[in-house]
Structure 1
């Protein structure tokens, strides 16, 4: 018996359409803020004495401004390529929780191992935040193509911004270059505050702001790690106690 139009199975959405939708999403406000940060990074690489192609290649391969600054600082201090690469690798461990949290959202039954590994490479703060914010509203099969389009758009724009910042280094004051690098963490902090809905999330943000400068004076090398562990644990315990009190009433 023939199926009526209402009984027909939905036509699967091709990968190209969500991919280009993700690429267009890269031009939203978070993407533009990110491009501004990489413009500042490009200007700083000019001061480090890097050729423009090395600066652009570092954005493509490393794809994380903090890790790229680690590389620049290590090379400037006289460290070898192997030691500098190891420092960059260690700094990337901070992205592991982001990878673990977003891949289950993106994957479907048809997602290949290669696509998951490629998506893991693209996970950085902006791509992770926008991916978690936008992809849950999409069909499962469209999420990975959308994220890859978003990430590729962000990488392409950031690479162009890096090259532009390097080329315009003589026109940018040093203070402005450093200030541009701070755009992304500031935007990320404001986005987290806006998206925080529970007591635990708001406490974690507030405790992080208070504890970070204090712990940095005690252990500058592990300040972020200890700030997250201490502040996150306190926020979790307070939130858990508040929930128990509400349920007991």
Structure 2
């Protein structure tokens, strides 16, 4: 867009980006941020159980931003795992974010974007942000996607950091059935969100294979590798089936 000499060169773009970021934060706080925030209440309780201060628990959410990795970290500390074994388990549990990031980053690129911006955007990738990003971003203008995503993800992380701190002080106060119900909110929400974004038969096949393969592969691969195995086997099978259906049309 050509700039008029007497118009402010950056202000309009800044306002536009800020507006999309606020919209993203507002959409996140409508429901998704609360879902992921509730799921991280337990991390605060785990941190208290191993003797970590509340600020460390909240920092783990702010900087790690991966509930399963945080659970492995605090669970490993409680079990007395060595630092190298704990680091390896956390690393393997986070491998699942690589294909998520690869799938999401093309939607966020815009002209003139630097590598540091892309790396910062990659840090925000989590299951909730990924599922909602794939569902919401394609309908947004290319220039609006990154600020919208940043606002959405920042709202999720900020609220989750707060709920982690709340969980630190709530440990032992919640009845067991209520605590279990809170933890069960996340998988229900993820299933509904992913299903809402399904568009072709291969998408539905991938979802179905996930449900079928997870209980089969978990005893074989363990907690650190089950999701990776399910994604690799089920995703590959669904992709191959989708290509086969397209070839027959």
- Cα distance, 1:193 vs structure 2: 2.0
Question: Greater shift after overlay, 188-197 or 143-152?
Answer: 188-197
Q: 1:174: how far off?
A: 4.2
Deviation at 1:176, TM superposition (A): 3.4
Residue matched to 2:16: 14
Asked if the contact 1:212–1:224 (Cα under 8 Å) also holds between the matched residues in 2, the reply is yes
> Aligned equivalents of 2:208 and 2:127: distance in 1?
19
Q: Deviations over 1:158-188 (max 9, x none)?
A: 0111111111223213453344233222211
Any residues of structure 2 matched to 1:204-223 within 5 Å, and which? 204-220=206-222, 221-223=224-226
Unaligned residue ranges in structure 2 (runs of 5+): 1-11
Give the gaps of 5 or more residues in structure 1.
1-10
Shift in Å at residue 131 of structure 1? 2.0
- Among 74, 84, 87, the alignment partner of 2:86 is 84
Counterpart in 2 of 1:177?
179
The change in CA–CA distance for 1:191 and 1:58 in structure 2 (over 3 A counts) is same
TM-score with structure 2 length normalisation?
0.85
Shift of the alpha carbon at 1:208? 1.7
- Cα deviations by residue, 1:60-95 (Å, 9 ceiling, x for unpaired): 111011110111122112234454344323322210
**Which protein shows a greater Rg?**
1
Q: Distance in 2 between matches of 1:189 and 1:71?
A: 26
Q: 2: distance between equivalents of 1:230 and 1:80?
A: 31
> Normalising by structure 1, what TM-score?
0.85
Between Structure 1 and Structure 2, how many residues are aligned?
Answer: 236
Task: Work out the CA distance in 2 between the residues paired with 1:230 and 1:166.
Answer: 37
2:244 and 2:142 map into 1 onto residues whose CA distance is: 36
1:168 corresponds to which residue? 170
Distance 2:120 2:77 in 1: 27
Whole-angstrom CA distance in 2 between matches of 1:42 and 1:176? 16
Residues 233-248 of structure 1 mapped to structure 2, 5 A cutoff: 233-245=236-248, 247=249
For residues 107 and 42 of structure 2, what CA distance do their matches in structure 1 show? 32
Kept after mapping to 1: 8 A contact 2:110/2:142: yes
Task: State whether residues 43 and 177 of structure 1, in contact with CA within 8 Å, keep that contact through their aligned partners in structure 2.
Answer: no
Cα gap change, 1:37 to 1:217, in 2 (>3 Å): same
- Trace 1:1-249 onto structure 2 (pairs within 5 A): 12=13, 14-81=16-83, 83-220=85-222, 221-245=224-248, 247=249
Measure the CA separation in 1 of the matches of 2:53 and 2:157: 19
Tell me the SS of whatever aligns to 1:15. Answer: helix
CA contact (8 A) 2:93 2:225 kept: no
Aligned mates of 1:227, 1:18 — CA distance in 2 = 35
Contact 1:40 1:178 in 2 (8 A): no
